[in-house]
Structure 1
Amino acid sequence: MSDLPSPHDWVKRSAQSLKVERLEAFFSGHAFDAHKHDTYAIGRTLSGVQRFRYRGVSKNSLPGETMILHPDVEHDGHAGSASGFRYQMLYISPALVQQVLHGKPLPFFKDGVSHDPRLSAATAALLNSMEDELDPLEEDDSLYGLVTTLQAVCGYNQAHGTTHDYAAAALAREYIDDCIEQAITLDDLAKCAGRDRWSLSKDFRAYFGTSPHRYMTMRRLDRVKAAVFAGRTLVDASVEAGFFDQSHMTRHFKKAFGISPSRWCLSLGE
């Protein structure tokens, strides 16, 4: 994939929030390669046809429908018609979702695209007025509404006999957040959480939607993006975030976002 987007394509990011990331974009053809977020990606197509592969199946998102992509599930994106597609998306971390769920397994919407009007309304509360900053209380209320709506639509299903330790998973996540620039092993996390390593690995996936290593990598990529926003070079941002070098960071960046860091940097000027 070329590092340069089509001259017809654009990406606009909403006013910065400490809780969610919101964006609106238009792509005339190919948008992004197969990749996985460690967040929920929830949004709506405004015009055209947005086509993507999700859980091995080709999906189409049309205006009026809601996309719900689960953390750590691979997907790509491209136009499903000659007119291209315009869409809005918000990204919500499982850690934030758990502030509402209090230790229940993450809701999983298996189909990727929903016609449910409840989800459409709950998503619109966060995606309307993209140019404006969200009032903090409005944002919290809207997040609560979206998470509880998603839980209601998906239902609550936990395999019989399966038990997980939310407290252990939360301790491991806090350890990673506090030591993000250091080398961290699963043994370090298990010792911190008071849980055996493989049970902890299952706990983490159940409550935060991804593995401990991938969570660590994504937090480092968050630091890279924040450093670039602040004017740092990709080389310096990579090392400061805990990667070996820029090439190491670039490999993970492409896997996480489906585009190269240089193309992402170009979109900041849109």
Structure 2
Amino acid sequence: KPRVDPEVKKFYPVNGPLNIKVMSMAFLIENSDSPVIWRGPMKMGAVRQFLGDTIWGDLDYLICDLPPGTSDETLDILQLIPKENVIIVSTPQEVALMDARKTIKMAQIMKRNILGIIENMSGYKCPKCGEFIEIFGSGRCEKAAKDFSIQLLGKIPFEVEVGVQSDRGIPFVIKYSNYDSAKAFKEIVIIVSTPQEVALMDARKTIKMAQIMKRNILGIIENMSGYKCPKCGEFIEIFGSGRCEKAAKDFSIQLLGKIPFEVEVGVQSDRGIPFVIKYS
């Protein structure tokens, strides 16, 4: 929890690995399942407090990790910090790029400096046969960079250990500095990860919020639950397993099913074609 200074009515951020100072709503809620049911003005008040009432001390950089698209939080930060630099992070799917492109456009309209775009989870190397597969497709981040005249800062391949170590709070670039993704991190001088346990934190908050508001929850679906290498047939739980089952058990709801990752799902969705019909 952040330490509060009662005299000045301000608080100190939490110190993380490598003396990285962190401030988050996650430190202020009762537990990791508690949702924050706030509208825009309350969110903006919290953002202002994080920026103005936190005793940051001397910083090399202040990094604000924001949700995709043009959310209240993103707009607030762009308004409150007029001289910030913006880095766009997106996975290669067309649907994901739609949000990223809107963020780029908003930043340009507000005359903010965009350092560039990073393509995260840009490909996956099968640990059994070594085949490199562009599981989300390719070329869309390059196109966005070209369309908006910004730089493509780099591509970070998907590696299982990135998520595992991030969930444990261990900087991946230190523990596995020889991995391809760690090298990509260092090259673009920013740490980007998509740990599945962190994704479940948001899902659990949504469940809790629905229960507080007395809504009927039919159940939870685990999407992208595993991936079968098209070359060797090996099935790999690339995001780990068991967390959706645990959430279902913790909240006494049903696990409706698990949907494995298949490249053609994204391809056909981007084309507006129902995958269940074309590849039934």
Name the TM tier (shorter chain).
under 0.3
- The higher-RCO structure (CA 8 Å, 6+ apart) is 1
Larger radius of gyration: 2
Q: TM-score, normalised by structure 2?
A: 0.27
Q: TM-score, normalised by structure 1?
A: 0.27
